[in-house]
């Protein structure tokens, strides 16, 4: 990535070697509970979740299908009220969409406007910020550069591959310059090679932009590859089974890191938590 922003925003030290407890928490989830509906018809989806995400940390959430991962992200994004406990950014309770947060969903085909070019799709959510034209252009240029799509700015989403469309969705989030990026199964709909590329893009975004990133994924290998910590959800209604510290060297790379015996050990650790009888 050669964007000026990426080049001029070095991180202080390596996250890989920095103990999690020494970094300030940005996102706090404390005894969060969530039910849909009220009264006799209420459905309790989340029982009690407590975890935090530190500044510039990547945390992955894994757990069985239907456990409430998307529900959790909706609560954190201020799109759903919680039914108990609290979620906070820098100690401020989340009660609506937090301005310092951006979201990327799995279904890029529904999140991009097919009648708008790539550039216009990236600029669209920035409209309400009423930025000067030059600033809009600079943000868009930087984001497209960061995801390797500067050459495709005048194309339409339907002219792009699935992986490229997901890059546009990520560029749109980056152009917003969020401090916290939340992604819900962001790479689930692309082929394996593109998925590896997008995972590495995620790591580069953290390094270059210093973002705090929370990712929901079904893919245990992906969680271990990306994360500083993996929050394993289980049981119904959902609770935290365990928070696994991923102790793998940084920087990570798709071939070397995945070949490490520690990688296999950590993925087995997470998988056995998910597969164990309730
Ligand atoms: N708006 C809603 N109203 C009522 N129930 C809902 C609503 N949204 C989700 N649910 C229910 O909450 C439960 C958890 O759904 P959620 O999508 O959060 O799980 P998930 O872990 O993200 O699933 P998956 O891994 O399959 O994407 C499911 O039983 C679902 O049917």
103-118 residue pLDDT tens: 988 777 778 999 999 9
pTM of the model: 0.88
Q: What is the pLDDT of residue 107?
A: 75
Instruction: Please give the order of strands across the beta sheet that includes 43-54.
Output: 92-93, 84-89, 25-36, 43-54, 238-245, 229-234, 58-62, 212-216, 180-184, 101-105
Q: What is the ipTM of this complex?
A: 0.97
Nearest CA to ligand 1 atom 8: 71
Domains defined along the chain, listed by start: 24-100+179-278 (3.40.50.300), 113-177 (no CATH)
Residue 66 has pLDDT above 50, yes or no: yes
CA of 66 to the centre of ligand 1 (A): 5
- Pair of tokens at residue 218: 């079904």
Candidate of 47, 71, 220 to mutate for ligand 1, largest count of ligand atoms within 8 Å of Cβ: 71
Candidate of 70, 214, 241 to mutate for ligand 1, largest count of ligand atoms within 8 Å of Cβ: 70
66 lines ligand 1 (CB under 6 A): yes
Measure the CA–CA gap between 174 and 227, rounded to whole angstroms: 19
pLDDT band (50, 70, 90) for residue 235: confident
CA of 125 to the centre of ligand 1 (A): 26
Task: Please count the other Cβ atoms lying within 10 Å of the Cβ belonging to residue 62.
Answer: 27
Residue 82: burial class (beta carbons within 10 Å; 0-12, 13-18, 19+) = buried
Q: What is the pLDDT of residue 9?
A: 30
pLDDT band (50, 70, 90) for residue 43: very high
224 lines ligand 1 (CB under 6 A): no
Q: What is the pLDDT of residue 22?
A: 59
Measure the CA–CA gap between 122 and 146, rounded to whole angstroms: 13
Cα–Cα distance list, 143 to 105, 167, 262 (Å): 17, 10, 34
Share of the chain above pLDDT 70, in %: 91
75 lines ligand 1 (CB under 6 A): no
- Give the best-scoring range by mean pLDDT among 31-45, 102-116, 190-204: 31-45
36 lines ligand 1 (CB under 6 A): yes
Measure the CA–CA gap between 108 and 232, rounded to whole angstroms: 26
HEC secondary structure over 203-217: HHHHHHHCCEEEEEC
- Closest ligand 1 atom to Cα of 233: 21
69 lines ligand 1 (CB under 6 A): yes
Residue 21 has pLDDT above 70, yes or no: no
Give the H or E element holding residue 233: strand 229-234
């Amino acid at each position: 990535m050669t964007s000026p922003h990426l080049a001029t925003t070095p991180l202080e030290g390596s996250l890989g070697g920095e103990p999690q407890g020494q970094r300030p928490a940005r996102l706090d989830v404390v005894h969060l509970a969530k039910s849909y509906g009220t009264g006799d018809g209420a459905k309790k989806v989340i029982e009690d979740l407590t975890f935090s995400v530190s500044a510039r940390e990547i945390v992955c959430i894994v757990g069985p299908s239907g456990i409430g991962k998307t529900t959790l992200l909706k609560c954190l994004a201020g799109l759903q009220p919680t039914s108990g406990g609290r979620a906070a950014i820098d100690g401020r309770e989340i009660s609506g969409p937090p301005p310092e947060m951006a979201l990327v969903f799995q279904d890029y085909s529904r999140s991009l406007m097919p009648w708008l070019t790539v550039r216009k799709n990236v600029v669209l959510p920035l409209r309400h910020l009423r930025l000067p034209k030059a600033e809009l252009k600079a943000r868009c240029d930087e984001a497209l550069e960061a995801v390797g799509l500067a050459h495709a700015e005048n194309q339409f989403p339907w002219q792009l591959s699935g992986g490229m469309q997901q890059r546009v969705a990520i560029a749109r989030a980056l152009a917003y310059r969020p401090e916290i990026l939340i992604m819900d199964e962001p790479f689930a709909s692309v082929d394996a090679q593109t998925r590896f590329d997008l995972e590495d893009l995620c790591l580069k975004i953290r390094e270059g932009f210093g973002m705090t990133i929370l990712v929901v994924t079904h893919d245990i290998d992906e969680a271990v590859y990306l994360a500083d910590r993996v929050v394993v959800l289980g049981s119904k209604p959902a609770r935290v089974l365990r928070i696994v510290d991923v102790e793998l060297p940084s920087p990570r790379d798709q071939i070397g890191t995945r070949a490490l015996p520690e990688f296999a050990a950590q993925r087995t650790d997470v998988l056995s938590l998910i597969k164990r009888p309730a």
